[in-house]
Chains A and B, each alone.
Chain A
Amino acid sequence: MSTNNHASTSGHHFAHHFRDANHEFESAKQGIWLFMVTEILMFGGLFVAYTIFHNIYPEMFAEGAKQLDWRMGFFNTLVLIMSSLTMALGIYYLQVGQSKKAVRSLAITLVCGAIFMVVKYFEYTAKIHHGFLPGRFLDVHHVNPEHANLGLYFGFYFCMTGLHGIHVLLGMGLITWVMIRAMKGEFGPDYYTPVEGVGIFWHIVDLIWIFLFPLLYLVG
């Protein structure tokens, strides 16, 4: 843990206001966890709102959930689990000094994220095409809903999966960034802080989808 030389083998110098490299790592990680709390609270607000309105209009939510194809949600759940595994393995390979394998793992994670978004794209275009839109944009003549306020369900659907989708896109951007840095050999067993942070962010994206899938596609 004690580093006499500030430069690590991967060429990283810890910032002067830190005691040592580990102090820098711990501080950065704590910052990421604080950020994750804001993520939990942001999505948590939506989940609480969903629960409340689901409680008030159970039949209307059931009608909305029937319009979703659970197989797509199911497939995307598996894709995100795979991506979480390869993300974790990317960090593992950096920790044990196998950066080629780490880059490959991060690349697979990126591909999984892209597959998720492609499936999402097909789902969204189908919903929009059939007029299943949020709130007053719901195409009442086309959809002919049993419940007049079906737009509320699709408000939740698009807000929750949309915000989640934005997180997937941001995560993919961040993974690209750490992957390029890993290819340049900037990370190794003694320095991989940015990858660790991006990893935690990516896992929370998976975590949120774990709740979104049964909530929107199944229970309804």
Chain B
Amino acid sequence: MANTNSQHSGHGSSGHGGHHIIPFQIYIKVAAALIVLTFATVFFHWLHLGALAAPVAFLIAAVKAALVMLFFMGLKYDDKLNQVIFGCGFFFLLVLFGFSALDIWTRIKEISTL
């Protein structure tokens, strides 16, 4: 425990610390981008892209999510350790998704009567 603490302090003092103030303008720009992307989501929905509709909607959502995480949640300016912690959550979600998808394709789709 003492060891991790000393490592952390070394990190904190050499880094930017936790009190980075994100400029006001950036918040406004990010919010404007999020609103534009929300309109874009609906616009692409109206185009009825068929098979592409879901990937496009998901891609826009991913960009919006990235904006929220990087700027509103301040992850861009946060400690490396916190970035890794949050990234781990998405990594394990991807693992869950990957194995579930494999199961669907190799078992349910082939033999299930669902």
Which A residues are closer than 8 A to B by beta carbons? 1, 19, 22-23, 25-26, 29-30, 33-34, 36-38, 40-41, 44-45, 47-48, 51-52, 55-56, 70, 74, 77-78, 81-82, 84-85, 87-89, 92, 95-96, 199-200, 203-204, 206-207, 210-211, 213-215, 218-219
Contact = CB atoms under 8 A, between A and B. Distances in A.
A25 B108 contact: no
A210 B64 contact: yes
Interface string B9-39: 1001100011101101001101100110010
Contacts of A207: 65, 68-69
Interface of B: 5, 8-9, 12-13, 17-19, 21-22, 24, 27-28, 30-31, 34-35, 38, 41-42, 45, 53-54, 57-58, 60-61, 64-65, 68-69, 71-73, 78-79, 81-82, 85-86, 88-90, 92-93, 96-97, 100-101, 104, 108, 114
A48 B93 contact: yes
A59 B65 CA distance: 28
Contacts of B31: 81-82, 84-85
B28 to A, nearest CB: 8
B53 A52 contact: no
B73 A200 contact: yes
Given A40-B86, A218-B45, A218-B57, 13 more contacts: A22-B17, A26-B18, A30-B82, A38-B89, A41-B89, A41-B92, A48-B97, A81-B31, A87-B72, A88-B27, A89-B27, A96-B21, A218-B53
A214 B65 contact: no
Nearest to B71: A88
A64 B44 CA distance: 20
**Closest 7 A-B residue pairs measured CB to CB?**
A37-B89, A40-B89, A214-B57, A44-B93, A85-B31, A218-B45, A33-B82
A210 B79 CA distance: 25
Nearest to A190: B19
A86 B71 CA distance: 13
A19 B60 contact: no
Contacts of B8: 23, 26
Contact of B114 (A56, A204, A213): A56
